[in-house]
């Protein structure tokens, strides 16, 4: 008995040692390594001229601010797809929105449309909502599912190579891109959702010359999707092909179909809408896709380089809306503030009272004074809900909308995609929307306090939230390159 106890204790001690060594391995190669490896060099050259045109282009655009409108648009273009649907999302959340979205995809596949769906592997490999609603789709002969960088326990440096692209492409006709993930908090109203809503934004791109695929930005998005879906970092999920498992997935699909059928009866608002997107859309001079390279470790910051170049060339005004604003020293090397010569630059972001991401807010908090000292007008949103949209308007002419947050993670680590739109009409509409959000925000003065505004009430943060953020701030300062 003593010998057994001794051996048991020895096994436990060795197990703890092995776990400790593995934890050290993860910390070094999953975190610290990113602070010491510089972004990979490429021959990429950023230039602003390519974003402008003096003639009308073939693409038109619809700004999707309201969550219901954004869901209706997704369902509508899926319902009208004839040949192909390509989908990319960072994450999904269980709820009516996901039931509608997945049900619409299955219905399209049932009528012969080829559907491809790629999700981030790190976030979704252990996501039960994905397991219950997305994995069964892989059983369908017209649906292909892939993970981008599925979790590898022996390669922790891949864990930060996150897929953050969020878009839907149908045929060569429509594309929706923006900040929304698939989940109720991004789409439903305050009356129909019990939690805290995320105020987000998408754009719907309309190709007016379907026969000329080379003239539309949708073709560039499709080419990027091809490289993403077929990349060596992307792989199909490992699913058991036993008869029992196959039957279970087929039954799960049938359940999704039934749920979708019930929702269509109960919520007719979202379905079978005869929408003339041409009539609802705004003309553009030019639309351009910018995205990060598909690389591991620190990427060359293609998106950030383009954004900083556009800001540096601005003449009058820049409005930046981002849920997280964490300008690290490495990021600021790409921004030459001596070249910024504009009358007005505003940043609108979440306040401590509404921010749902405590780590990200901690990173913002340690840079808050820096932003004010730079001379930016910093506005902090006070609710309702929290901001999740990522948009920039430059000189009331150029709009940039997509998935990119103003932080190191979006700059160097994640896949990101933004659409740069040369359209005064869209810029005016987007500027109006951002100014509306600004009217629910408080301006930070030179003493880093709020300027009194009788029209806006400060959203107080609980003492627990403030305490947690104060604890996290020193950690965020050390690991700001991962935020």
List the CATH code of the domain at 286-482: 3.30.870.10
pLDDT over threshold 70, residue 129: yes
Q: Taking the complete model, does pTM exceed 0.85, yes or no?
A: yes
Q: Tell how strand 198-199 and strand 386-387 pair up.
A: parallel
What is the mean predicted confidence (pLDDT) over 454-466? 92
In this predicted structure, what is the pLDDT of residue 1? 47
What is the mean predicted confidence (pLDDT) over 272-281? 90
Burial class (CB in 10 A: 0-12, 13-18, 19+), 366: middle
CB-based contacts of 28, cutoff 8 Å, min separation 6:
none
pLDDT over threshold 90, residue 180: yes
Q: Each residue of 380-439: pLDDT tens digit?
A: 999 899 999 999 999 999 999 999 999 999 999 999 999 999 999 999 999 999 999 999
Q: How far is it, in rounded angstroms, from Cα 346 to Cα 186? A: 25
Q: How far is it, in rounded angstroms, from Cα 279 to Cα 444? A: 41
Lowest mean pLDDT segment, chosen from 46-50, 152-156, 472-476: 46-50
In this predicted structure, what is the pLDDT of residue 114? 97
Confidence category of residue 99, pLDDT binned at 50, 70, 90: very high
Q: How far is it, in rounded angstroms, from Cα 178 to Cα 430? A: 13
Q: Each residue of 181-193: pLDDT tens digit?
A: 999 999 988 777 8
What is the number of alpha carbons within 13 Å of residue 35 lying toward its C-beta?
12
Burial class (CB in 10 A: 0-12, 13-18, 19+), 351: buried
What SS3 class is residue 290?
strand
In this predicted structure, what is the pLDDT of residue 475? 93
Burial class (CB in 10 A: 0-12, 13-18, 19+), 347: buried
Confidence category of residue 361, pLDDT binned at 50, 70, 90: very high
Q: How far is it, in rounded angstroms, from Cα 435 to Cα 441? A: 10
Ordered alpha helix ranges (H), 111-199? 121-124, 128-133, 184-187
Residue 118: φ, ψ to 5°? -120, 135
In this predicted structure, what is the pLDDT of residue 412? 96
Plot region of 117 (φ>0 → left; ψ -120 to 50 → alpha; else → beta): beta
Mean per-residue pLDDT over the chain, rounded: 91
In this predicted structure, what is the pLDDT of residue 42? 61
Distances in whole angstroms, Cα of residue 336 to Cα of each of 3, 32, 208, 312, 341: 69, 27, 38, 7, 11
What is the mean predicted confidence (pLDDT) over 51-68? 94
| Strands of 300-455, DSSP E | 317-321, 344-350, 377-381, 386-387, 391-394, 398-402, 417-422, 441-443
- Listed as own residue / partner, the contacts of 221-224 with beta carbons closer than 8 Å and 24 or more positions apart are 221/167, 221/169, 221/175, 221/177, 221/289, 221/417, 222/86, 222/169, 222/172, 224/289, 224/291, 224/417
Q: Are 428 and 396 in contact (CB under 8 A)?
A: yes
- Residue 481 has what DSSP assignment? G
CATH class of 59-278: alpha beta
What is the mean predicted confidence (pLDDT) over 245-253? 82
In this predicted structure, what is the pLDDT of residue 4? 53
């Amino acid at each position: 008995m003593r010998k057994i106890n001794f051996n048991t204790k020895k096994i436990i001690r060795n197990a703890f040692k092995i776990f400790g060594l593995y934890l050290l391995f993860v910390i070094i190669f999953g975190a610290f390594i990113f602070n010491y490896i510089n972004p990979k060099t490429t021959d990429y050259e950023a230039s602003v001229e390519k974003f402008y045109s003096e003639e009308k282009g073939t693409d038109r655009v619809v700004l999707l601010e309201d969550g219901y409108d954004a869901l209706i648009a997704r369902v509508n273009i899926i319902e009208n797809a004839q040949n192909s649907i390509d989908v990319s999302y960072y994450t999904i959340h269980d709820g009516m929105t996901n039931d509608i979205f997945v049900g619409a995809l299955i219905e399209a596949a049932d009528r012969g449309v080829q559907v491809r769906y790629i999700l981030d592997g790190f976030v979704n490999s252990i996501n039960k909502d994905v397991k219950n609603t997305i994995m069964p789709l892989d059983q369908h002969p017209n649906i292909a599912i892939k993970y981008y960088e599925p979790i590898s326990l022996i390669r922790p440096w891949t864990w930060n190579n996150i897929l953050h692209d969020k878009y839907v492409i149908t045929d060569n006709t429509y594309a929706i891109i923006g900040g929304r993930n698939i989940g109720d908090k991004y789409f439903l109203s305050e009356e129909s959702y019990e939690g805290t809503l995320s105020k987000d934004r998408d754009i719907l791109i309309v190709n007016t010359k379907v026969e000329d695929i080379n003239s539309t930005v949708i073709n560039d998005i499709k080419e990027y999707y091809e490289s993403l879906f077929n990349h060596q970092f992307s792989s199909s999920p490992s699913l058991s092909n036993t008869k029992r498992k196959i039957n279970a997935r087929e039954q799960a699909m049938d359940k999704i179909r039934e749920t979708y059928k019930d929702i269509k009866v109960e919520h007719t608002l979202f379905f079978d809408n005869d929408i003339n997107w041409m009539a609802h859309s705004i003309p553009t001079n030019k639309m351009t896709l910018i995205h990060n390279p598909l690389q591991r470790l620190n990427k060359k910051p293609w998106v950030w380089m383009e954004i900083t170049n556009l800001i540096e060339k601005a003449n009058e005004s820049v409005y930046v809306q981002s849920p997280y604003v964490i300008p690290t020293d490495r990021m600021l090397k790409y921004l030459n503030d001596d070249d910024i010569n504009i009358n007005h630059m505003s940043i609108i972001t979440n306040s401590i009272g509404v921010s749902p991401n405590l780590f990200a807010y901690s990173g913002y908090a340690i840079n808050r004074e820096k932003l004010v000292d730079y001379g930016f007008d910093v506005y902090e949103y006070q609710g309702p809900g929290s901001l999740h949209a990522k948009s920039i308007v430059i000189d009331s002419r150029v709009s940039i909308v997509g998935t990119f947050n103003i932080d190191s993670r979006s700059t160097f680590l994640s896949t990101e995609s933004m659409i740069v739109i040369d359209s005064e009409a869209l810029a005016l509409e987007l500027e109006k929307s951002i100014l509306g959000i600004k009217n629910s925000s408080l301006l930070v003065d030179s003493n880093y306090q709020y300027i009194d505004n009788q029209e806006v009430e400060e959203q107080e943060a609980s003492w627990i939230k403030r305490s947690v953020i104060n604890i996290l701030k020193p950690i965020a300062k050390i690991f700001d390159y991962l935020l």
